[in-house]
Amino acid sequence: MKNNIYKIALGVASLVFAGVSVTSCQDAVDIVQPGQLDDESTFKSISDLDLYLNGIYNIVDPTNEVYISAILSDEVKPGKGSGGQEFQQHRFFFDSSDKFATNTWLIYNTVINRVNRILEGAKNVDATRDQAKYNQIVGQARALRAFAYLQLETYFSPNMKDDNALGAIIFKDVPSISQKLPRSKNAEVYAFIEEDLNFASDNVLAKGANQYYVDKTVVDAIRARFYLYRGKYDLAQKYAQAVVSNSGLALTKATPIVPDDKTPIGSSAWNTAFYADSSFNPYRQLWGDVNRGEVVFALARPARGSNSTINSLWNTNASNINGNPMWFWGRNLYNIFANTPGDIRKYAYVDPSSKPNASYETISNTREDQLIIDKYPGKANGPLRNDFKVFRLSEMYFILAETTAQQGQLAESAKYIKQVRDARNYQGSAAMPNYASKQDALKDILLERRVELALEGHRYIDLKRLANDAGVTMDRNKTDDIVDVTNLPNNSYKYTFPIPNSEIQGNRGIIQNDGYAK
């Protein structure tokens, strides 16, 4: 790991205390010896630790994996403002030089390094005046490290259900420039993640003041996803249920659907009220960051800030027809929520300036079917800025549905899916699913995850995890590109990210994932 550890140790290691922010790769830090933090000058008090922790939150950034997941799967198609960006990845030219895979690797290893630094610095801080606060800071830091390792495992391990498969590189201390660490087996990484989550669960607040900091519910949400991806269904069910039972949150409702009984859905007045920054609709409010709704954990993106912006992944200036959209909704995904009676997502996800082509099956150019992505509508004075919703309650219901299906409890699985569909339907209750088999249930769960979790970084991994068991494949429409459209086959090695070239070049002993040239 020499090359990227060098970048991490020297290039992205310092905290700018003024302004409580962490700068990018232009950071500098005084290093007494290669990789060694000057703890005495950096960490003198619990307040210093707290300030540094805020900086760590500031660099956790899912932008790369959310974007590449959408591009590689069946969520989006080129927009009318596209200049050809990422067409290669959209057509599955994806290799170890890919910048999004590289940045995902670098960002989460940087988070791990920052946590290692705060843990090392914390050893020199007198905690006797506020031991609880000290433990809470350390617990949050360790939870963020566990999440970073989970992200690395999710995208870079070829099989998370195989304890002997290769995963991330474990480094428990501040790395030196000369270190060349191998990839660890999944079992070793998992043990390290579990140590961090156990400590965090015992020391963070039971319930935090808001969705922007790790509390016990967030730890349980990390655990639920972690165990689901590993195929540990009993544990995934346990922790997803803990989130549902203890978070104090409820699924965000699709109603009210009109601001008053005089304004019909779809009218000009209704559009003005529904799509306003302070929309009357709770589900739309959730995506516009007007209310927390069902968000378990989010990464704050204030209207004025320098962090990455999720809406700018899809739209150049704003999420409307005049905002120079670079990507549209993929047609088959759009068809699901557009053709489901009473589905709030047909409005909450799509800007009314869209120009859907009713004859889309016969058109020759994807740009003739303009489906504007408005799931992230921005916020007042920040048209491209929205919080990253890392964990939501609906995901926990999906985990409960999947785990009960895997255990043969098909009727229970159906109830969890119905609860999400009820919440998203403004016309009333949705029909109760009737699953004839486990495959039938998994297929429906995958369908609902596809819609509800769209553009949140799940679809690519869900196809890797569930497509075979659910009896489905990637599902692009023939209008989803300006060339002949293909789908990535199930079991393709490209459902796992490559280890970046920069890592391989700096650490010749590291093992590349199958299929990618070393």
For 155-183, the pLDDT digits (tens) are 999 999 999 999 999 999 887 777 789 99
Residue 21 pLDDT > 80: no
In the predicted structure, residue 408 carries a pLDDT above the cut 90 = yes
Q: Note the pLDDT tens digit of each residue in 198-217.
A: 999 999 999 999 999 999 99
Q: At what angle do helices 131-156 and 216-230 cross, to 10 degrees?
A: 20
- Contact partners, residue 483, CB within 8 Å, separation at least 6: 91
Looking at residue 271, what is its pLDDT?
97
pLDDT at 143: 98
> How far is it, in rounded angstroms, from Cα 97 to Cα 254?
43
**pLDDT reported for residue 125:** 96
Which residues neighbour 33 within 8 Å (Cβ) at sequence distance 6 or greater?
Answer: 176
pTM score of the predicted model: 0.93
> Helix, strand or coil for residue 197?
helix
Quote the pLDDT of residue 365: 74
Q: What is the pLDDT of residue 39?
A: 58
Instruction: Please tell me the distance from the alpha carbon of residue 124 to that of residue 139, in angstroms, as a whole number.
Output: 17
Q: Which residues pair with 329 in a beta bridge?
A: 76
Name residue, tokens 């992205």.
12
* Contact assessment for residue 222 and residue 148, using Cβ atoms and an 8 Å cutoff: no
Q: What percent of the chain has pLDDT over 90?
A: 83
Strand partners, 135: none
Residue 33, class by beta-carbon neighbours within 10 Å (0-12 exposed, 13-18 middle, 19+ buried)? exposed
CA distance 51 to 57: 10
- Amino acid in position 441: A
Long-range (24+ apart) CB contacts under 8 A made by 97-102 are 97/500, 97/501, 98/68, 98/497, 98/498, 98/500, 100/64, 100/65, 100/67, 100/68, 101/64, 101/68, 101/155, 101/497, 101/498, 101/500, 102/500, 102/501, 102/502
pLDDT per position as a tens digit, 31-51: 344 444 455 668 999 999 999
| Residues 82-117 pLDDT 10s | 999 999 999 999 999 999 999 999 999 999 999 999
